[in-house]
């Protein structure tokens, strides 16, 4: 279902894929409204929200801010799935329904940094890029230690400038990307494969098709302060990204690019045990469902252990000892304080 699309085609659409986080979406839209009003680009920007079948009050939040944006002559569109189609299809839905020349993906729990919209518009008008990739202020990369340290425009992707996509792959933040639509042709190619990390797939495909990837040393957003408490995916999900990159480059007859990227997969066993260790030390809040997934991953990986080298054996032993130490810490914390160090997250 589509609602509220205006006929005027602004330069930049700010697209927010969301699911069952009405409170965070409201904060994001409120902040975004203030940022747009304060910018010098009011008539160049539109906003769209794609609701992935939320069952909370997300629709009410969207209706409220649709009126606020339109009353202030800011173009606004919203889209709704009847049921949860998954994050990546929601991102693709944003891309396909974007009515602007460029689209900036904004996570519903990220905070836009003052002046970011003006910076993006200036870069679009000055460099005419196909893909823009910005700094995202999240440790270990912050204002004092930027991930992208200098502005670089890559006119095309080849073996000699593989950094043009490697940097994006290694820090695949949704909110770091701004893409040119080109009538959605690059998205059509990615859609066929139903990729994980759809935003990265479309970005790489766009770069392969049209070149002109611009890396900016500006910071445009940061996460909520409690973002680590809202993780709901396995730590080995990075392996899905590597599969996506491999499939996409193979689709484009660029297997030599993949070899030069030298991407390393994450070991599901040690990463799951390390994540559980952090949970038992009280570092993260987990849903019961994710906790079960982590233990299931550990159990399945232990059953399938074979062809282990010395390095992997040592990592497994170290991760196991770390998890035991963390469990012991949690038990001691419970005995001394009568309260568990762990925190259960009951809602997404």
List, for residues 133-154, the tens digit of each pLDDT value: 999 999 999 999 999 999 999 9
Q: Which burial class, exposed, middle or buried, applies to 8 when counting CB atoms under 10 A from its CB (0-12, 13-18, 19+)? A: exposed
Do the Cβ atoms of 169 and 207 come closer than 8 Å? Answer: no
Q: What tokens were used for 65?
A: 């801010």
- How many Cβ atoms are within 10 Å of 109's Cβ, its own excluded? 18
Helices (H), the chain: 22-38, 58-71, 87-97, 116-127, 163-170, 185-191, 198-210, 238-251, 255-261, 268-280, 288-303, 310-337
Q: Is the pLDDT of residue 312 over 80?
A: yes
Q: Is the pLDDT of residue 1 over 50?
A: no
Contacts of 115 (CB under 8 A, 6+ apart): 39
- pLDDT-derived band at 101, boundaries 50, 70, 90: very high
Counting residues of the chain whose pLDDT is more than 70, the rounded percentage is 97
Do the Cβ atoms of 286 and 344 come closer than 8 Å? Answer: yes
Residue 184 vs residues 5, 102, 123: alpha-carbon distances, Å: 17, 10, 21
Q: Give me the mean pLDDT over the 13-35 stretch.
A: 94
The pLDDT assigned to 346 comes to 58
Q: Which residues are 103's β-sheet partners?
A: 13, 179
Query: In 3-state terms, what secondary structure has residue 138?
Result: strand
Q: Is the pLDDT of residue 130 over 70?
A: yes
- pLDDT-derived band at 256, boundaries 50, 70, 90: very high
- pLDDT-derived band at 3, boundaries 50, 70, 90: very low
pLDDT digits (tens, 9 = 90+) for 116-129: 999 999 999 999 99
Q: Is the pLDDT of residue 186 over 60?
A: yes
Q: Is the pLDDT of residue 74 over 80?
A: yes
Q: What are phi and psi of 312, to 5 degrees?
A: -70, -40
The pLDDT assigned to 317 comes to 93
Q: Give me the mean pLDDT over the 196-211 stretch.
A: 95
Tell me the domains of the chain and their CATH numbers: 2-259 (3.90.550.10), 267-344 (no CATH)
234 dihedral zone (left: phi>0; alpha: psi -120 to 50; beta) = beta
């Amino acid at each position: 279902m589509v609602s509220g699309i205006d006929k005027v085609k602004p330069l930049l659409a700010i697209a927010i894929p969301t699911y069952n986080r009405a409170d965070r979406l409201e904060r994001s839209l409120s902040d975004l409204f203030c940022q747009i009003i304060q910018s010098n680009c009011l008539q160049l920007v539109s906003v769209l929200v794609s609701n992935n079948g939320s069952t909370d009050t997300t629709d009410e939040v969207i209706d409220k801010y649709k009126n606020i944006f339109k009353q202030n002559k800011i173009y606004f569109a919203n889209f709704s799935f009847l049921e949860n189609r998954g994050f990546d299809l929601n991102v693709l839905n944003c891309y396909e329904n974007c009515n602007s020349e460029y689209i900036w993906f904004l996570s519903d729990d990220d905070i836009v940094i003052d002046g970011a919209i003006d910076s993006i518009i200036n870069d679009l008008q000055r460099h005419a890029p196909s893909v823009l990739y910005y700094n995202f202020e999240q440790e270990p990369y912050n204002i004092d230690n930027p991930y992208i340290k200098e502005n670089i425009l890559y006119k095309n992707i080849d073996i000699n400038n593989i950094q043009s996509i490697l940097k994006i792959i290694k820090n695949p933040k949704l909110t770091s990307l701004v893409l040119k639509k080109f009538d959605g042709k690059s998205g059509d190619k990615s859609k066929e494969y139903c990729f994980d990390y759809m935003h990265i797939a479309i970005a790489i495909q766009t770069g392969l098709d049209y070149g002109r990837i611009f890396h900016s040393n500006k910071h445009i957003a940061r996460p909520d302060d409690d973002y680590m408490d809202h993780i709901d995916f396995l730590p080995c999900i990075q392996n899905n990204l590597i599969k996506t990159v491999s499939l996409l480059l193979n689709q484009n007859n660029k297997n030599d690019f993949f070899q030069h990227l030298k991407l390393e997969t994450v070991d599901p066993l040690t990463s799951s045990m390390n994540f559980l260790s952090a949970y038992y030390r009280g570092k993260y809040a987990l849903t019961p469902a994710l906790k079960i997934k982590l233990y299931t991953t550990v159990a399945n990986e232990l059953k399938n252990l074979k062809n282990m080298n010395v390095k992997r054996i040592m990592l497994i032993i170290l991760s196991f000892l770390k998890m035991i130490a963390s469990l012991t810490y949690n038990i001691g914390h419970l005995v001394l304080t009568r309260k568990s160090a762990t925190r259960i997250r009951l809602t997404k």
